Amino acid sequence: MSTTTAPSGCPFSGSLASAIDPDLATGELKPGASTDFPLMPEGEAVDMGHAPDGTPLLDPRIFNTMEFFRNPYPYYRIMRDHYPVFHDKLHNCYYVTRYDDITDCYFDDEGFNTIPKGASSGVLGNTQLELSGVEHRRRRNLYGQHLVGKSLNNRIPAIEQLAEEMIKDWDNMTPEQGVEDKDGTRTVALGKAFANEFPIRVVCQVLGFPDEAREDFYYWYNSMMSGLGGSETQQEGLEARQHLEDYVEGIVEERRKNPTFLYDQDGNSLGKDVISKLCETKLDGDYLSTEEITSNIALVVGGGGETTRGAILNMWYLLLQHPDQMAAVMEDEEKWDLAFHETLRHSTPIGGQPRHNTFDVELHGVHIPAGSLVNMVDFSANHDDRIFKDPETFDIFRDDLYSGKLLRSGYAKEGRYSHMAFGVGPHLCPGAWISHQEAVVGSKILSKHLKNPRIRVDLMPKDIDGESLAPIGLISVRELWLEYDLD
């Protein structure tokens, strides 16, 4: 990474000298300063000036720019090296950016034990995300047993079957639907034709919703996901969440009496689906309420949907830009696990987790008053060169990344470390195992059907040079146009 002065003539350069001074290192801005930042070559940062001791300055307005969204990692490196706890007065929050510090904070169940209220409860309901301590553990244990181990493996036949069905449907799809055949090749919009819908279908089935609820499920999922975070679409998300609860209420009593099951491809029962299991679960001697069941469902939907979509598209986008690694994965499907973990280290669709600190904390000489908003930046942790060598390089064979079973405790042994895409500790993402399974199993099925796959570069967004493919940055790939041979 290097810092490069903005080119002369750029709108930003004219205001840079008057807009930036050493106070920007603390987040204080001059009134009326320009918020225009140039788009730099990937891996290079805008030169925002230096303090008298040579420390590069960091203007927090950069966080609101397209430059930061497409090219965040040089700025995260500045933060890790010079401001490991950055007090952003402009946005009234603190950023923790080093891998070891974030790990310690995630495991500090007293100092950083809650996700800020309102971050998700408005749409998803009263989920474990905003609970801590004993109450959090009780809630997590309600459904944790359904997301790991044997229960997880029981879903593989259903996932494989759904993937095969979706790919078979490509034969009857039109260009408007994302599929076009021409001269012995097929062009596919992998998002529209597969990745956007595949995880929703899987989660819908394994939860135990009937097939006729699929269209409603798309509505619930899309509306609730777009309504998170107090956005302009929150009202739509709240309405969808209420509609989901009304629907669940209609099937809960029936499931308590007559549970439903998952089956393998031969029709053999694999056990009860998640809704049926939740319906028979008791807490303090009482069955879960409809609202509690709905909140658990909403949380699983969020964890296993958007994350999987982003992981599949990012993984294929990166692999196809590294032909040797793509060939290795296509030759040995067991290497999809390596590809999944390296994708989530290199370009995770999950940026981090916010926290409120319970009491005053001092970290790297920065005083964080109790109740502050503290962002644990997983993006940055995954690119911390104190942990991962040459972190901007995508390499599924790197020897410093742990690629085994996802562990709530994380992994840090013999020079290998787990990525931080799902966090670690008590609040490790509850959809982590679902996302891993869906992305890997779905990609294995895709790889059996896509002969000699390659990116349709002409249909993809370009970077600032107008020729190279756009970097992923902080935004997962929204669409991936592929071409493969039919014969």
Q: What is the tens place of the pLDDT at every residue in 55-80? A: 999 999 999 999 999 999 999 999 99
Is residue 88 a part of any domain in this protein?
A: no
Residue 296 clears pLDDT 80, i.e. is over it: no
Is residue 121 a part of any domain in this protein?
A: no
Token readout for 401 is 């990344």
Is residue 116 a part of any domain in this protein?
A: no
Is residue 23 a part of any domain in this protein?
A: yes
d(CA 174, CA 181): 9
Q: Per the structure, how many domains does the chain have?
A: 2
- Mark whether 78 and 131 lie in a shared domain: no
Range of the domain at 458: 126-349+393-418+421-485
Picking from 29, 54, 83, the residue at the C-terminal end of a domain is 83
What percent of the chain shows pLDDT beyond 70?
82
Q: Where are the alpha helices (DSSP H) in 273-366?
A: 274-279, 290-320, 323-331, 336-346
Is residue 67 a part of any domain in this protein?
A: yes
Q: Given the structure tokens 């993984």, which residue do they identify?
A: 315
Picking from 54, 83, 112, the residue at the C-terminal end of a domain is 83
Spatial CA neighbour of 296 closest among 107, 438, 145: 145
- Mark whether 77 and 191 lie in a shared domain: no
- Mark whether 161 and 18 lie in a shared domain: no
- Mark whether 320 and 204 lie in a shared domain: yes
Residue 281 has what pLDDT?
80
CATH of the domain at 323: 1.10.630.10
Is residue 315 a part of any domain in this protein?
A: yes
Residue 445 has what pLDDT?
97
**pLDDT-derived band of residue 29, with 50, 70 and 90 as boundaries?**
very low
**pLDDT-derived band of residue 230, with 50, 70 and 90 as boundaries?**
low
Specify the higher pLDDT residue, 245 or 478: 478
**pLDDT-derived band of residue 141, with 50, 70 and 90 as boundaries?**
low
Q: pTM for this structure? A: 0.85
- Which residues does residue 179 pair with via DSSP β-bridges, in sequence order? 188
Averaged pLDDT, 125-147: 55
**pLDDT-derived band of residue 202, with 50, 70 and 90 as boundaries?**
confident
Q: What is the pLDDT of residues 235-250, one digit of tens each?
A: 888 888 888 888 888 8
> Please, what is the average pLDDT of the chain?
83
Averaged pLDDT, 27-35: 40
**pLDDT-derived band of residue 405, with 50, 70 and 90 as boundaries?**
confident
Q: Given the structure tokens 């930046």, which residue do they identify?
A: 377
Q: What is the pLDDT of residues 416-429, one digit of tens each?
A: 999 999 888 877 77
CA distances (Å), origin 310, targets 161, 195, 317, 457, 476: 21, 8, 10, 19, 5
Is residue 101 a part of any domain in this protein?
A: no
Spatial CA neighbour of 299 closest among 407, 349, 197, 224: 224
Residue 91 clears pLDDT 50, i.e. is over it: yes
Residue 115 has what pLDDT?
64
Token readout for 448 is 């059996």
- Which residues does residue 455 pair with via DSSP β-bridges, in sequence order? 482
- Mark whether 136 and 17 lie in a shared domain: no
Specify the higher pLDDT residue, 154 or 32: 154
Q: 5-14, 121-130, 333-342 — which one is most confidently predicted on average?
A: 333-342
- Mark whether 143 and 23 lie in a shared domain: no
- Mark whether 73 and 177 lie in a shared domain: no
- Mark whether 165 and 79 lie in a shared domain: no
- Mark whether 290 and 431 lie in a shared domain: yes
- Mark whether 79 and 133 lie in a shared domain: no
Is residue 118 a part of any domain in this protein?
A: no
Picking from 32, 51, 83, the residue at the C-terminal end of a domain is 83
- Mark whether 58 and 175 lie in a shared domain: no
Q: Residue 33: helix, strand or coil by DSSP?
A: coil
- Mark whether 22 and 130 lie in a shared domain: no
